[in-house]
Homo-oligomer: A and B are copies of this chain.
Amino acid sequence: MEVPAPRRTRIQQEKRELILEAALEVFSTNGFRGSTIDQIAEAAGMSKPNLLYYFRRKEDIHETLMQRLLDTWLAPLRELDDIGDPLTELRSYIRRKLEMARDFPRESRLFANEILQGAPRIMPMLEGELKTLVDEKAAVIKGWMRAGKIARTDPWHLIFSIWATTQHYADFDVQVRAVLGPNRGGDGRFEDAARFLEQLFIDGLKPKT
């Protein structure tokens, strides 16, 4: 099952990192098919044949990037724990996801690109690892509902809505900034978003009598 990690020299490790960093930048803004090896090579400061010495095919770069992404991407959900106050747990899950949108927007866009195009390369992972994890956490949330700690609703769609609202600030960043304008679209937008989302998820919109 486990593929043995190939032995690599120091230079190989460094250069591969350099390439992956450059490829993340290029892929996340142009999509897989919209990106060229030349673009990535230039962004990494090396020639195309040299890049191809470290990654034999364009797909290999993308695949490596994807595998790394998925681990870190699901980390916040994995941390969602049964211990502690449910509302607090959900609040900090939302906060963690929003922080990821703020700190790793390229990774978010890379993922969004892949899903948008029908997830051709990561479908098995969605139906396997991801579904298992979500089902597991949905069960935890269901427990909280049964215990009367949070309102009864659909845990799966709750998780979707957290993903959607937080990743929106990475994936649709240009739209968010365009609509907010130069004043409110600055660095403060993530704190505004955090405040808003907390209120939305906890209290909803109904006026407090």
Contact = CB atoms under 8 A, between A and B. Distances in A.
Interface of A: 29-34, 87, 90, 109, 112-113, 115-119, 123, 126-127, 130-131, 134, 148-151, 153-154, 156-158, 160-161, 163-165, 167-169, 171-172, 174-176, 178-181, 184, 192-193, 195-197, 199-208
Contact of A29 (B109, B118, B126): B118
A196 B154 contact: yes
B150 A207 contact: yes
B119 A175 contact: yes
Contacts of A199: 151, 153, 204
A149 B115 CA distance: 38
B156 A180 contact: yes
Give how many copies assemble into the complex.
Answer: 2
Given A109-B116, A179-B126, A204 B172 contact: no
Contacts of A168: 160-161, 163-164
Given A34-B34, A131-B181, 13 more contacts: A31-B33, A31-B117, A34-B117, A112-B112, A112-B116, A113-B116, A115-B175, A126-B178, A160-B168, A160-B172, A164-B168, A200-B201, A203-B203
B123 A174 contact: yes
A201 B153 CA distance: 12
Contacts of A117: 29-31, 34
Nearest to A168: B164
Contact of A164 (B109, B127, B165): B165
B171 A115 contact: yes
A113 B113 CA distance: 8
A175 B126 contact: yes
